[in-house]
Amino acid sequence: MNDLLSGDDIDRSSVMSVPVQVSVRLGRRRLRISQLLRMGPGDVVDLERVVGDPVDVFVNDRMVARGELVVVDGRLGLTIVELLPQATRGREPLGPGPGE
């Protein structure tokens, strides 16, 4: 078991069935409202990332890992490439999580 559930102060079995929201941030871009209002079908927003860059993985809006996008049976998937140290989880340097 990884260190997400390490520690003597919790009963691990009591949290195993608790649902959490996992989300992945592909990129981000700051736009003016005027730019948003001019957008329409077919417009492209540059997310300032290149193919192959790691993506940020969030659990309940706290960054916990980095990963790479993969294709699994024709669908998008994620390979975890780095778990953030527990002391820094949720303190990601790129700004607030996807739900904030």
More confident residue, 97 or 87: 87
What pTM was estimated for this model as a whole?
Answer: 0.64
The model's pLDDT over 7-16, given as tens digits with 9 standing for 90+, comes to 555 677 888 8
Half-sphere CA count of 37, side-chain side, radius 13 A: 3
Q: Which of 89, 61, 68 shows the shortest CA–CA distance to 26? A: 68
Domains of the chain: which residue ranges?
20-95
Distance of alpha carbon 43 from alpha carbon 68, whole angstroms: 25
Question: Per-residue pLDDT for 80 more than 80?
Answer: yes
CATH architecture of 20-95: Roll (2.30)
Please give the average per-residue pLDDT across 58-81, as a whole number: 92
Burial of 74 (0-12, 13-18, 19+ CB in 10 A): exposed
